[in-house]
Structure 1
Amino acid sequence: MRLPSGDGAEVQIRPVAYQFPWIATPGDWDANWLMVEGVVRLSNGEGWSFSDPCLTTWEASSIAEWLRQVATGSAQPSAFPSEDDERLQIFTEPNLALSLETRVQGRVTIRVHISVQSLPPWLTADHDKDLFDYFVSLNVSEADLQGAIDDWASEIAAFPNR
């Protein structure tokens, strides 16, 4: 999934494999962990990539649902979410989180919160910010949002719940 911003920033994330492909016990958490690759580019051109088992198959599906809610206008913006804000989409591993900043004239600004092992290399996992404080704001058109929804749905289809 690619979320491009009007200012040149961009976040790409995609599931690439089950973390433990040899485990196939239905409903087992270990059987449903996904390796996720991410590429982040800031508006100033700096960027980095990461690869980490940071989503379950269930959480990947919840991202698709949240993105659909953003597209339809049923997801509510959040001034600046904290861990306790139910509008912040958090997952078991805190590497990634999502929040909606604004919706204005056919565009949405989505925050991709990045923590721990997925942080940029110039920040360490023990930096002085709290979880989810580091984020990239992406001002995304409706067309690009729909493209991201379609891409994510296609990408996670290859990794069904086991």
Structure 2
Amino acid sequence: MALELRASHGHSLRLDIVGYQFPDGTVDSLNWLLLRFTVQVPGQEPWTKVDPSLETRELLSLARWFEGMGDANMRGHRPSIFFTEPNLSFSLVPVKGGKRRLRVHLDAESRPPWAPPRGQGVYSNAWVEFPLEELDSKALAHWAREEHARFPPRESPWD
């Protein structure tokens, strides 16, 4: 099951969880997931990359974050979510008219080749954006929960 985001201004992002980074359950990185990013922005060739970018438990955090994103008041909702690896993060950014956009940041190994040079500050300057009114936060949360069910945390035999 893929997460597909499309914006009327031409940005698109598809995230597919390909599988566990180490399907045999070897080494201490049992719960890293391989994500396939497919990104399109106007004027650039589509770009695809596969990299271990999330741990299984981080999918539940992402599901809760997506659920809170749909709350109009955003009470108690963090404006951004980061993960162990800096490859992927999400933030809500204000735009004119009191509206917001979901910004998906791509960095480190998941930084597109056409992205501008690495900027200063907390966020990557490589991102795709989606007007919040064009998204279904419940569907996004459902995707994260479904993927967590497909790829549950695995316990180490050394624990």
Q: TM-score range with shorter-chain normalisation?
A: 0.7 to 0.9
Q: What are the within-5 Å matches in structure 2 for residues 6-85 of structure 1? A: 6-23=8-25, 30-44=29-43, 46-73=45-72, 75=74
State the partner residue of 1:118: 110
Which whole-Å CA distance do the structure 1 matches of 2:119 and 2:130 have between them?
A: 20
Percent identical: 30
The one-character-per-residue Cα deviations of 1:95-146 (angstroms, maximum 9, x if unpaired) are: 11110113889x741010111111112348xx34245222222114365333
Q: Aligned partners of 2:42 and 2:115: how far apart in 1? A: 17
One-letter amino acid matched to 2:6: P
Counterpart residue type for residue 53 of structure 1: P
CA contact (8 A) 1:4 1:139 kept: no
Q: TM-score, normalised by structure 2?
A: 0.77
C-alpha change, 1:154 and 1:128, in structure 2 (3 Å) is: closer
Alignment length (residue pairs): 147
1:33/1:55 contact within 8 Å kept: yes
In structure 2, stretches of 5+ residues that fail to align are: 155-159
Displacement after TM superposition at 1:161 (Å): 1.3
Match of 2:119 in 1: 129
When the two structures are superposed, what TM-score results if normalisation uses the length of structure 1? Answer: 0.75
Cα distance in 2 for residues equivalent to 1:103 and 1:149: 23
Aligned pairs for 1:77-116 (under 5 A) are 87-102=79-94, 108-116=100-108
Contact 2:107 2:126 in 1 (8 A): yes
Partner in structure 1 of residue 131 of structure 2 = 139
Ranges in structure 1 where 5+ consecutive residues have no aligned partner? 77-85
Note the aligned Cα RMSD (angstroms): 2.8
> Does structure 2 conserve the Cα–Cα contact (< 8 Å) formed by 1:9 and 1:45?
no
Runs in 1 of length 4+ with deviation above 4 angstroms?
none
